[in-house]
Structure 1
């Protein structure tokens, strides 16, 4: 049985939002389109997509925003344009940046810019990490929050210092805001407050929002217009963006409204984890509704435990597991969404106790 098939048999699922079948998703989209008299856009021109782009721009405090089929395309394009504007080809990236970890050296192979890794792998940036760079930077790309280290963020004071530092040295400050909505809840601030001081922001339409895919890039009107032209040149000129926009727009407000509740549930989960000291959460205190659990078991053993609990108890605790830095340890990720929010407290407590017992055995 595949992981996906095993997951389907479970009555209790920890990570993420409730999964919908394609038929359920497309049915909900069709009903929403009927209710809102939605027509297809044509190459990005249309009432729905233009209104949604304007909504994202307003929400983040920018002049404009534009849809892009993927964050991978949006971010490296934005950073290349920022470097061109300043005639400086160097971009500072955290070692865990999505661009470095997941994008197959696209910036380098496509000749977009040169990347310089700054800061330490296991902690968020500080302003000192950037100040230590003597080179002239065209741009600084900062993930908010930093997924690969458990959804960590710099403190609000440190974030303000980073914004001021980049402004003072004339470097374009770009936000990888794939999970900006989650970070805003963790900071107890609005998305606009978090985005203030950045020169451009990318947000995902599918990660926390639950759309089919796609992203938005926000910035000045001139910057966004140039990026949109490059998206077309790079193959992102879909004749209809409407399926992606509808799937995000129809649930966007509800998802944003739920972010504080997801974060509160994450805080509750941390309290429950205190009873199981062998399961170590990272960060030490919640900073968004995403966290990593460091387990005292090899990756293979952790996956075997996950599968056994799924077969015996109908409990699905996590998806993938990654090898830990130490032998016989591993790391798993939890995104606290609808599943944990709606789960009875007793079910969550029982599931963690079963995991802890299995790890001890």
Structure 2
């Protein structure tokens, strides 16, 4: 039985939002389009996409925003243009940056820019991390929050210091805001307050939002127009963006409104984990609606436990597992969304008890 087949049989699912089958998703999109009189855009020109781009720009406090088919294309394009503007090809990135970890060396193989890993891979950035770089940087890319270390955030004071440092050094400050909406609750600040001082921001239309895919890049009107042109040159000029925009727009406000509730449920989940000392949690306290659970079993054993609990109890605890630094250890990611919000506190406690018992065997 495949993982997807096993997951489909479970009545209790911990991570993320409830997955809608294509027919259900497309029916919801069709109904929303009928209700709002939606027409297709043509190569990015149309009322729906233009209104949604303006909405994202205003939420982030920028002049403009533009749709892109993927965050991978969005980010390297923004950073390449920033480096070209300053005549400095070097970008500072955290060692766990999505560009390093998940983008198959695109920045290097496609000749976009040169990248420098800065800071401790297990800790969020401080301004001192950037001050330690003697080179003249063209750009700095900062992920908020940092997914690969459990959704951690630089402290607010450090974030402000990073902004000031980049401004003083004339470096373009770009935000990987794939999960920026989630960081609002952790910081207790609006997206615009967090984004203030950045020169450009990328946000995802599917991760926390639950859309089909796609991204937005926000910045000055001139910068966004240039980025839009370059994304077209790279093959991003699809004739209709409307499926991606509809899938995001129809649930965007509801998802953002639920972020504080997701964060509060994450806090409960974190507190419930204290009863199971065999499960270590990163970070030390929730900073977004995401946690990494470190387990004292191998990756293969963790997946076997997940599958057994799914088969015997109808509980799906996590999606992927990764190998830990120490032998016979692993870690898993829990993104707290609609699924866990719909569960009772006792359901969460009971499922954690089953996991803890299985890990101890």
TM range (shorter): over 0.9
What's the TM-score, normalizing by structure 2? 1.00
| CA distance in 1 between partners of 2:12 and 2:104 (Å) | 35
Partner of 2:101: 101
SS of equivalent residue, structure 1 residue 293? strand
Runs of 4+ in 1 over 2 A off after TM superposition: none
1:314-339 Cα offsets, whole Å, 9 max, x none, are: 00000110000001110100000000
Partner of 1:271: 271
Matches within 5 A, 1:58-73: 58-73=58-73
SS of equivalent residue, structure 1 residue 145? coil
Partner of 2:189: 189
Aligned-residue CA RMSD (Å): 0.4
| CA distance in 2 between partners of 1:337 and 1:186 (Å) | 15
| CA distance in 1 between partners of 2:328 and 2:117 (Å) | 29
Partner of 2:300: 300
Q: In the TM superposition, what is the alpha-carbon distance from 1:344 to its structure 2 partner? A: 1.1
| CA distance in 1 between partners of 2:37 and 2:17 (Å) | 27
1:180-220 Cα offsets, whole Å, 9 max, x none, are: 00011111111111111100000000000000000000000
| CA distance in 2 between partners of 1:152 and 1:133 (Å) | 22
SS of equivalent residue, structure 2 residue 52? helix
Structure 1 unaligned blocks of 5 or more: none
1:208-262 Cα offsets, whole Å, 9 max, x none, are: 0000000000000000000000011000000000000000000000000000000
SS of equivalent residue, structure 1 residue 72? helix
Partner of 2:112: 112
| CA distance in 2 between partners of 1:341 and 1:277 (Å) | 24
1:240 aligns with 2:240: yes
How many residue pairs get matched? 361
Partner of 1:158: 158
1:51-86 Cα offsets, whole Å, 9 max, x none, are: 000000000000000000000000000000000000
Partner of 2:180: 180
Partner of 1:320: 320
| CA distance in 1 between partners of 2:223 and 2:174 (Å) | 12
